[in-house]
């Protein structure tokens, strides 16, 4: 199956570099997200849902042999994101998939927060990308990055 051999990390220009909003703690995450446009769910519920979904993704990633080094993942898309590409508030970093160890990244079909009623998105490993794409197609696969070091090293060496 053919799929992009790169991920795109969209970094919001107002956010701390390579930092998950949940790393700020529950209250601060709610405060920071209160100014973000979240149209699929109330802002008060967003952090709670995000925590549940990220815990599920991490648990499934562990179960499948993943070895996360982060409490919360960083996010990217497999290839370009039509939704995020046009937004000027993001800096875009294109990173080859080969930079990551297969035990450090996972994938979900589309944005894991897209359907907030689906609290258990199916989690795929890099070796299962063909299976994911066969099942769902290539519509906006999300990448969870469980080790920031390869991403940081690549960006510093090649893109900054």
Instruction: Read off the pLDDT of residues 133-160 as tens digits, 9 standing for 90 and up.
Output: 999 888 888 999 999 999 999 989 987 6
Model pLDDT, residue 91: 79
Rounded CA separation 44/158 (Å): 39
60: which 2 tokens? Answer: 């499934």
- Mean pLDDT, to the nearest integer, of 101-128? 83
Q: Looking at the predicted structure, is the pLDDT value of residue 115 above 80?
A: no
Spatial distance between the Cα atoms of 160 and 8, rounded to a whole number of angstroms: 15
DSSP assigned state of 142 = E
pLDDT digits (tens, 9 = 90+) for 37-87: 545 556 667 788 888 889 999 999 999 999 999 999 999 999 887 766 666
Q: How far apart are CA 7 and CA 97, in angstroms?
A: 6
- State the DSSP H helix or E strand holding residue 61, giving kind and residue range, or none if neither: helix 43-63
What mean pLDDT, rounded, does the chain reach? Answer: 83
Quote the pLDDT of residue 43: 63
């Amino acid at each position: 199956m053919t799929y992009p051999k790169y991920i795109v990390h969209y970094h919001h220009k107002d956010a701390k570099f390579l930092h998950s909003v949940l790393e700020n703690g529950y209250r601060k995450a709610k405060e920071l997200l209160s100014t973000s446009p979240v149209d699929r769910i109330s802002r008060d519920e967003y952090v709670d849902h995000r925590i549940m979904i990220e815990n599920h993704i991490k648990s499934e990633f562990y179960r499948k042999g993943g070895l996360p080094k982060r409490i919360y993942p960083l996010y990217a898309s497999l290839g370009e994101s039509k939704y995020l590409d046009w937004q000027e508030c993001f800096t875009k970093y294109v990173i080859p998939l080969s930079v990551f160890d297969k035990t450090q990244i996972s994938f979900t079909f589309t944005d894991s927060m897209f359907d907030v009623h689906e609290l258990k998105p199916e989690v795929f490993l890099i070796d299962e990308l063909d299976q994911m794409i066969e099942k769902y197609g290539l519509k906006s696969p999300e990448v969870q990055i469980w080790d920031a070091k390869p991403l940081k090293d690549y960006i510093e060496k090649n893109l900054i």
